[in-house]
Amino acid sequence: MKAIVQDRYGPATVLAAHEIDAPTIDDDQVLIRVRAAGVNPADWAIMCGLPYIARPVYGLPRPRRRVRGTDVAGVVEAVGRRVTQFQPGDEVFGRADGSYAQLAAAAPGTLARKPASLTFEQAAAAPMAGLVALQAMRDHAHVGPGDKVLINGASGGIGTFAVQIAKALGAEVTAVCSTRNVDLVRSLGADHIIDYTTDDFTEQAERYDVILDNVSNHSLTDLRRVLAPAGTLVPNGGRFDNRWFASTGRLIVAAVRFVFGSQKVATFVVAITTSDLIALADLIEAGAVTPVIDRTYPLTQTDRALTQVGDGHARGKIVITV
């Protein structure tokens, strides 16, 4: 099968298209014929081997997994003998390690049936970004009707999902984005929009019950100043200015500072589960959430797709078609 392979860490030039053996599945796995694969900042970071402290997990001295990609949408090709949830021919979406390839293996617990209303490209855009937004808003910030929610970085992959999910939960949403993305986030249902090129939300008088920070471009002190007395900050910005530790230090400092007082900080690692993929699919089928795609690239241009994501200016999601 054709796959995008990397044998060393570095920029997108380390990627190359090769013919490799198709993955084999065990009794508890599903083999997927990949139709589309979403691109996440985490994929770019692992390609680069960032942060350095994580390389023992990724693999030393080279990537343990040669094929990048986790978000997937496609058709079930085969199932292990103990798999009962799916059968060949089912259209699915979710997580599959090594999705930048024609075939990928996955655990059934990280897949769900693709919403019929979505294309494979739209479905591939949803798993990681959609579940980060869902779990942040629903499970960690406990957003409910009437809550004032601010989303910093509202036009990105996670931000576009978060605006829509917060609205579906009944919140009053303020979206922070650049001038060129104002119309986009307004179309997603944002009640208020702050153009960061002209205004700084941390210098305004409004206080928010929840702040989802996808950018990490303001100090924790400034964020706490505009957070309500019992509000919740969800720090989600994975900046890699510090190539050794990325945002780890910021998260540790946040955890320590928020010990004192009634304000809360919610840090978490997203879990890709069938139940939450179904919950996200239900929101999509109900018309409350629609994945936003900036651009699609063919598999042979995966390097360009990852470069665009690494530059940090994608509107919604970047998707690879297979």
Please report the pLDDT score of residue 267 as a whole number. 87
Clarify whether residues 157 and 116 are in a common domain: no
Same domain, 149 and 191: yes
Same domain, 182 and 71: no
DSSP-assigned beta bridge partners for residue 295: 318
Task: Tokens for 304, please give them.
Answer: 């360009």
Classify residue 283: in a domain, yes or no: no
Judge whether 310 lies within some domain. Answer: yes
* pTM of model > 0.75: yes
In a domain, 275, yes or no: no
Indicate if 135 and 78 belong to the same structural domain.
no
| Gap between the Cα atoms of 173 and 126, Å rounded | 21
The DSSP symbol for 27 reads: T
- Block means of pLDDT (10 residues each) for the chain, 322 residues, are 97 96 97 98 93 87 94 98 98 97 98 96 98 98 98 97 98 98 98 97 97 93 96 83 67 72 90 98 97 98 96 93 97
User: What is the predicted pLDDT for the residue at 245?
Assistant: 61
Do 188 and 112 reside in the same domain of the chain? no
Same domain, 73 and 139: no
pLDDT one-digit tens code per residue, 7-64 = 999 999 999 999 999 999 999 999 999 999 999 999 999 999 988 888 888 898 999 9
Distance CA 167, CA 146 (A): 10
Domain range for 35 is 2-126+291-321
- Supply the CATH number for residue 158's domain: 3.40.50.720
Give the H or E element holding residue 94: strand 91-95
| Same-domain check for residues 45 and 96 | yes
Same structural domain for residues 139 and 251?
Answer: yes
**281 located within any domain:** no
Helix (H, G, I), strand (E, B) or coil at 316: strand
Domain count, the chain: 2
DSSP class of 114: P
> Is residue 84 located within the same domain as residue 144?
no
Is 258 in the same domain as 144? yes
pLDDT at 58: 86
The CATH number of residue 58's host domain is: 3.90.180.10
What is residue 52's predicted lDDT score, i.e. its pLDDT? Answer: 86
